[in-house]
Copies of this chain bind each other. A is one copy, B any other.
Amino acid sequence: MDSISQNTPSNHVDTARLGDRLMGMAQIGATPNGGVNRQALSAEDAAARLKMMEWAAVYGFSVTTDEIGNLYVRRVGTDPNAAPIMTGSHLDSQPTGGKFDGAYGVVGGFEALAAIHESGIQTKRPIEVVAWTNEEGSRFQPGCAGSAIFSGKDRIEDHLDIKDWDGVTVREALKAIFATAPDMPYRAAGGTVDGYIEAHIEQGPVLEAEAKTIGVVTGIQGATRFVVEIVGEEAHAGTAPLKLRKDALKSACTIVGALEELMADPTDTVRFTVGRFDVMPGSPNTVPGRVQFTIDFRHPDMDTLKRLGTAIQPTCEANARGCHVSVTQIVDNAPVAFADSVMDIIRAESDTLSLPNRDIASGAGHDAWYMTDLCPTGMIFVPCKGGVSHNEAESATPEDLAAGIRVLANSLTLLANR
């Protein structure tokens, strides 16, 4: 694919159609502030999957699902024995999420597949667009459930009994979502894959600031997650003397402050977030007896990740103020590097299309993290406005979004003919 001709897939990527489909998908779970709330395996997630199925039917692409609800849209290859090339991302969102995080990789992956189809090219390998189940981990923790199970890193059994805030299990939610498409053929998660590319908005400010359209992603920083539980003693706010209290909330606030000191980093490389923070019983005139909060801690360097991660528990204990503290690590993702072979293709195709590009590391975790175990893997980033993501204000231009999918379509075609 040295020159751009009529049968070059990128030539068939339709900026308006891609934009329309992304905006159509964003209607499902749309929030009043222009964002999206589409929780994993919810009714909104089901509606998003049905939309994918509608689109696939127009092109004659087959659609299947597996035991964790991953959705696969497949265009056949000429070699019936060849392992597929995959692209995709996720359709679930943060509770106050944006239109592009995840949806871009799935809807854009579908646009790439449509463009390849319309170019008339028959690839040797099949190409699949996958919507991974529960990447965000906001309804059911941990996230990346679909890709983790597909990769073999997680077992389905360890996810099925996880409950959401209302006590609904993954098992029950899966049953409900399967019921919305009872005739969909089933396949098992996993198997041989020959390559994976995920398109995503950067979720950071670098590409926009440097006026680069394409980020050739070099890898993903290490990501860990912990749940801290602090148990004190409920008491009456009007009567219990402060010196006798075991106040789980005040203890938790002190602990968060101590963790901030632990994580202090003049280079501003550490990413330390307390995102979920539940206080029980949550009554204004009762001293809180229990607090549970999450720690999301990431760093590109494995040693720093270990050193600071190990210090979390003693730091919590040293600041417990008479309460009982327990710390449980629920995610431990090492930093990964993407395959040179895939990065080379993405870089070359960007250059061919005259798209300004640069190598860039991913601060966020992605389903691609799990795919590195299975096959040569890469990611394509496009700029997002102000680097804002996990936010209803998430924004990206139709032109940048289409440019990323042009690179994706050509790169997938090259991989599928290897």
A241 contacts across to B, CB distance below 8 A: 268
A273 and B248 alpha carbons, distance in the complex (Å)? 11
Q: Is the CB of A257 within 8 A of B253?
A: yes
Q: Is the CB of A275 within 8 A of B265?
A: no
Q: Is the CB of A271 within 8 A of B237?
A: yes
Shortest CB-to-CB span from A23 to chain B, Å, is 21
With A204-B240, A238-B362 given, name 18 new contacts (CB 8 A).
Answer: A96-B280, A96-B281, A203-B239, A223-B238, A233-B391, A236-B363, A237-B390, A238-B296, A238-B363, A239-B363, A242-B265, A253-B254, A274-B288, A276-B282, A277-B279, A278-B282, A285-B296, A287-B390
Does A137 have its Cβ within 8 Å of any Cβ on chain B?
Answer: yes
A363 and B245 alpha carbons, distance in the complex (Å)? 15
Interface size class of A (residues with CB under 8 A): 35 or more
A287 and B391 alpha carbons, distance in the complex (Å)? 9
B-contacting residues of A (Cβ < 8 Å)? 94-96, 136-138, 141, 143, 202-204, 221, 223, 225, 233-243, 247, 249-250, 252-254, 256-257, 260, 263, 265, 268, 270-289, 294, 296, 298, 362-365, 387-392
Q: Is the CB of A286 within 8 A of B234?
A: no
A223 contacts across to B, CB distance below 8 A: 238
A278 contacts across to B, CB distance below 8 A: 279, 282
Shortest CB-to-CB span from A81 to chain B, Å, is 39
**Contacts A203-B239, A235-B391, A270-B242 hold; do A284 and B288 have CB atoms under 8 A apart?**
no
**Cβ 8 A contact of A137, one of B256, B284, B389:** B284
A239 contacts across to B, CB distance below 8 A: 202-204, 271, 363-364, 387, 389
A284 contacts across to B, CB distance below 8 A: 137-138, 141, 225, 273, 275-276, 294, 296
A136 contacts across to B, CB distance below 8 A: 283, 285
Q: Is the CB of A286 within 8 A of B277?
A: no
A243 contacts across to B, CB distance below 8 A: 268
A141 contacts across to B, CB distance below 8 A: 284
